[in-house]
Amino acid sequence: MDRGVCRQYSWYLKKNKMSLFHLPVWFISLFRRKASGNSRFSFGQDPDRDWKVLLASFFVIALVAVGMSIFVYTKVDQGEIFLVDKKEVTQPKVLDRFQLEKTVSFFESRNEDFLSLKRQPLQTLDPFIPVVKPKK
């Protein structure tokens, strides 16, 4: 930026007791200051002011561009933007080992019961044959 403009700007800020945060206000005031008649913007009447407006505009645009670039760079670097959604992976049905062991153990115990019943006859009475009970 031109040294004269910088000096003028800092003088303007000091005179109006403003800080850097007042830059947007000052920027808008540049357009409004010399508005006359129907035309609000009057380029060509005061070259000094026109230059200041141009420089200020480009300064603001450059600042926004740099800010945006830093923002985008940081986001891209951290992998936070421009990401593609993950595809949902369908998990195959995995064999449940615990269930398998439980099932095998169930059949083993059933097999033992089967063999035990085969070896040992049941103690059961024919319900058709009446049982004679001794009298008390």
Partner 1 sequence: MLLITMVVITLLFSACYLFLFLKVKAQNEQVSSLVNDIETESVAESTQRSTKVLVAETSKYREKLKEYLVGKDDAVSFLEFLEREGSDVGVTVKIESVVPSALTTEDVEELRLSIKASGPWAEVVRYVGLLELLPFQSRLEQLIVSISEKQGDGPWSVQAVLVVLKEK
Is residue 130 within the footprint of partner 1 (CB under 8 A)?
Answer: no
**Choices 1-9, 19-27, 32-40, 122-130 (CB under 8 A): range interacting with partner 1:** 122-130
Is residue 121 within the footprint of partner 1 (CB under 8 A)?
Answer: yes
Question: Least separation, in Å, of the C-beta of 34 and partner 1?
Answer: 17
Q: Which of 15, 107, 131, 135 binds partner 1 (CB under 8 A)?
A: 107
Contact 59, 67 (CB under 8 A): no
Query: For residue 61, which phi and psi values (nearest 5 degrees)?
Result: -60, -45
DSSP-based three-state secondary structure for 107 = helix
DSSP-based three-state secondary structure for 39 = strand
Question: Least separation, in Å, of the C-beta of 46 and partner 1?
Answer: 15
Contact 60, 27 (CB under 8 A): yes
Question: Least separation, in Å, of the C-beta of 21 and partner 1?
Answer: 26
